[in-house]
Amino acid sequence: MGSISIIGLGNMASALAGRALAGGNAVEIIGRDRAKAEEVAAALGGATVGTAGAVPAGDIVILAVPYAGAAAVVGEYGDALRGKIIVDLTNPISSDLTGLVTPDGSSGAQEIAKAAPSGAQVVKAFNTLFSHVLAAGTAEGRPLDVFIAGDDARAKARVSAFVESLGLRPLDIGQLPMARTLENVALLQLGLVAHSVKHTDFSLGVSILR
């Protein structure tokens, strides 16, 4: 079990915090609105509240904010994130839901990594899960799959162990540039919601046949 800090106060932050606490992790909730952060922590039970901009308590810092402001948030923390594993779950999807807003050949995670201090490691994870599906933790009785991408093997191993503590299955898909593929998977999911499935009560995973 580990120590986790979550920057953000939305549905994904709450879903991850709830599963992390159930998995025996220490959880710190951080938001610019401290009163709201205290409300979120109180609703969860067992989470602490951190100070925005200060050094997060957790070894793993989960960035659960909209992509549009994610790099700026990382930049504001600056050296406070040195030595941390930053988990990026954002999706840099255009407002018309037809593409990504990142530069060609890059990904949201890579852009966030550019804003991170030296010594911090960015790992992409959780971006292909809807918050209420993540909160449930299983699909038809099977653990949800969490795809992860990152350049540092130790950081990915640490994130994988955290994923397993949530009762989920980590699947490493490669180095950080593969985050763009995961962000396109999220775009695919929104296409399914808009054109065929018509709801968000689903998840994408891998069935291993042998």
Per-residue pLDDT of the chain (210 residues; tens, 9 = 90+): 789 999 999 999 999 999 999 999 999 999 999 999 999 999 999 999 999 999 999 999 999 999 999 999 999 999 999 999 999 999 999 999 999 999 999 999 999 999 999 999 999 999 999 999 999 998 888 999 999 999 999 999 999 999 999 999 999 999 999 999 999 999 999 999 999 999 999 999 999 998
Contacts of 42 (CB under 8 A, 6+ apart): none
Q: Which long-range contacts (C-beta less than 8 Å, at least 24 apart) are formed by 43-51? A: 43/14, 44/14, 44/17, 44/18, 45/21, 46/21, 47/17, 47/21, 50/5
User: How far is Cα 48 from Cα 30, in angstroms, rounded to an integer?
Assistant: 9
Provide the residue ranges of all domains of the chain, joining segments of one domain with +: 3-195
User: How far is Cα 198 from Cα 187, in angstroms, rounded to an integer?
Assistant: 14
pTM of the model: 0.96
User: How far is Cα 205 from Cα 182, in angstroms, rounded to an integer?
Assistant: 12
User: How far is Cα 152 from Cα 87, in angstroms, rounded to an integer?
Assistant: 12
Q: How many CB atoms lie within 10 A of CB 155?
A: 21
Q: What is the CATH number of domain 3-195?
A: 3.40.50.720
One-letter-per-residue 3-state SS of the chain: CCEEEEECCCHHHHHHHHHHHHCCCEEEEECCCHHHHHHHHHHHCCCEECCCCCCCCCCEEEECCCHHHHHHHHHHHHHHHCCCEEEECCCCECCCCCCECCCCCCCHHHHHHHHCCCCCEEEECCCCCCHHHHHHCEECCEECEEEEEECCHHHHHHHHHHHHHCCCEEEEEECHHHHHHHHHHHHHHHHHHHHCCCCCCCCCCCCCCC
Contact (Cβ atoms closer than 8 angstroms) between residue 108 and residue 143: no
